Structure 1
Amino acid sequence: MDVIESLPLFPLSDVVLLPEVSVPLYIFEPRYRQMTREALDGERRIGMVTVRPDSLDQMAGDPPIFAIGCLGRIAHASERPDGTFQILLLGERRFRILAEHPRGGERLYRTARVELLRDPEVTTSNAADALDRSRAALLELLGQLVDRTPGGDRERIVAGFEDLEPARLVNALTRSIGFLPIERQQLLEADSIESRFEIMIDLLRFRLAESGLGGTGSAPLPN
């Protein structure tokens, strides 16, 4: 078991970090300014976790969080004269919280013992064939969604995703499409590439149905 004994936790309600995806963050609360300074002085690691939707009124304290999060590494940081930070956090690996540590001393933020998670590899030809079919279905749904987006360029946008290997494809689409935080958390928690594809396909089908009823979608754009 690959374990980090003490990882700083950064709970947010509206940001879900994924492996190989970067997010810009503005750090202003004193406890997270302390966390950022100490991370920069050490291994630059922060554990991003999502606050449970029914606990948003507890954000000022220690709200309940999902057990699955994403380890992030601070790729860039800029401290402002007022002590706040602008950072760019790059997602590296998923983790599961094993136990939170009691807060002690002068530490203002939460920490936990976590297990780093790996995605199972696709080891059989049947599984690889099924994944190829899911990939084709996903890109077709993406194209249909772009077709329903004003000004969408299906050929250009789909081409930006076609060459990505399966895990990166799902992560890139999760970043690019306007999914709700709870939907992104669903994708983060999926323990295999196959199940992530299934969830993503269901989400895109829902977006298409929503747009057909006059709802608004968010057009994905390649990097």
Structure 2
Amino acid sequence: MDPDQELRGFEGVCRLFPLPEVVLFPHCVLPLHIFEPRYRQMTEDALAGDRLIAMVKLKDGADWNVEEDPPIESVACLGKIFDHRRLADGRYNLLLVGMKRVRLLHELPKDELFRRARAELLDDEYPDDPVDSLRDELVDQFRKLCAREGRVEPEIARLLDKPIPLGVLVDLLGHYLGLPGAVKQAFLNETHVEERVKSLIDILQVHLSNADDPRDGSDSGFPPPFSLN
């Protein structure tokens, strides 16, 4: 999907699907099981319209079991339903593909069960200088991680050699790795591609260095064990 083409009719208002520890990146796919009445309504509304839903992470410490509308992050990912199945009892299984980052400007009064917000689209920002060396370093560090883990999904291996924009590549790799929600949110917040790439390179380097250092017997929980699947 071409995000610019798909979002040509976007009018600046998005449906919100807040979840704890869930962060969607542009160009990535998120499977969703919809069962709560408010999100069934949200899905029905989306399917009858532009099929857009903004995935947004609950702020750390927010309790969605207690608060009706717990606080959410200010940057979300606007996704589009590209496949769905409605189950007999009214639940839905969805595949949502990320389109673009959005900054949530303010929430709107609730006319439905689900939340909505006015939002602005955010584009990737590239430096004036070429980014070839950054791409090479990112790919090199990621391949070292794959070699250490002893496996990598074939589609990810092929992705490393494709001439896709660097912003897309770093988002796909960030999605693929089992990073904590707070780290993923920091990546989502960052529109400067150079900074996103440098941050992911740093994480990969620290993780590889810790794994190779026999003196490091601590279990700090970060960098986390990566999930290459």
TM-score tier, shorter chain, comes to 0.7 to 0.9
Looking at structure 2, the residues matched to 134 and 32 of structure 1 have their Cα atoms a distance apart, in angstroms, of 40
In structure 1, the residue matched to 2:99 is 92
Summarize deviations over 1:181-210 as a string: whole Å, max 9, x none.
111111111121111111111221232244
Looking at structure 2, the residues matched to 211 and 83 of structure 1 have their Cα atoms a distance apart, in angstroms, of 47
Looking at structure 2, the residues matched to 48 and 57 of structure 1 have their Cα atoms a distance apart, in angstroms, of 15
Summarize deviations over 1:79-132 as a string: whole Å, max 9, x none.
10111100010111111111101213xx1111011111112244x3xx21xx22
Looking at structure 2, the residues matched to 18 and 153 of structure 1 have their Cα atoms a distance apart, in angstroms, of 20
Per the alignment, do residues 159 and 76 of structure 1 end up closer, same or farther by CA in structure 2, a change over 3 Å counting? closer
Summarize deviations over 1:32-64 as a string: whole Å, max 9, x none.
010000110111011111111111455662111
CA shift, 1:147, in A, is 2.3
AA in 2 matched with 1:169: L
In structure 2, the residue matched to 1:217 is 225
* Identical-residue share of aligned pairs (%): 34
More helix by share: 1
Looking at structure 2, the residues matched to 156 and 7 of structure 1 have their Cα atoms a distance apart, in angstroms, of 31
Q: Are positions 1:77 and 2:84 aligned together? A: yes
CA shift, 1:144, in A, is 1.8
Looking at structure 2, the residues matched to 44 and 158 of structure 1 have their Cα atoms a distance apart, in angstroms, of 31
In structure 1, the residue matched to 2:49 is 42
Q: Which secondary structure state, in structure 2, belongs to the residue aligned with residue 53 of structure 1?
A: coil
- List gaps (5 residues or longer) in structure 1: none
Aligned length: 212
Q: Is the 8 A contact 2:126 2:194 kept in 1?
A: no
CA shift, 1:65, in A, is 0.7
Per the alignment, do residues 202 and 87 of structure 1 end up closer, same or farther by CA in structure 2, a change over 3 Å counting? same
CA shift, 1:167, in A, is 1.5
In structure 2, the residue matched to 1:119 is 124
Looking at structure 1, the residues matched to 113 and 203 of structure 2 have their Cα atoms a distance apart, in angstroms, of 38
Per the alignment, do residues 85 and 143 of structure 1 end up closer, same or farther by CA in structure 2, a change over 3 Å counting? same
Per the alignment, do residues 217 and 8 of structure 1 end up closer, same or farther by CA in structure 2, a change over 3 Å counting? same
RMSD: 2.5
In structure 2, the residue matched to 1:161 is 160
Looking at structure 2, the residues matched to 113 and 47 of structure 1 have their Cα atoms a distance apart, in angstroms, of 11
In structure 2, the residue matched to 1:148 is 148
AA in 2 matched with 1:86: N
Looking at structure 1, the residues matched to 52 and 155 of structure 2 have their Cα atoms a distance apart, in angstroms, of 35
Q: Which secondary structure state, in structure 2, belongs to the residue aligned with residue 62 of structure 1?
A: coil
CA shift, 1:159, in A, is 4.7
Looking at structure 2, the residues matched to 59 and 202 of structure 1 have their Cα atoms a distance apart, in angstroms, of 37
Return the TM-score normalized by structure 2: 0.83
Looking at structure 2, the residues matched to 34 and 202 of structure 1 have their Cα atoms a distance apart, in angstroms, of 42
**Mean alpha-carbon deviation: is it higher for 2-11 or for 41-50?**
2-11
Looking at structure 2, the residues matched to 83 and 191 of structure 1 have their Cα atoms a distance apart, in angstroms, of 37
- List gaps (5 residues or longer) in structure 2: 1-7
The counterpart of 1:108, out of the listed 103, 110, 113, is 113
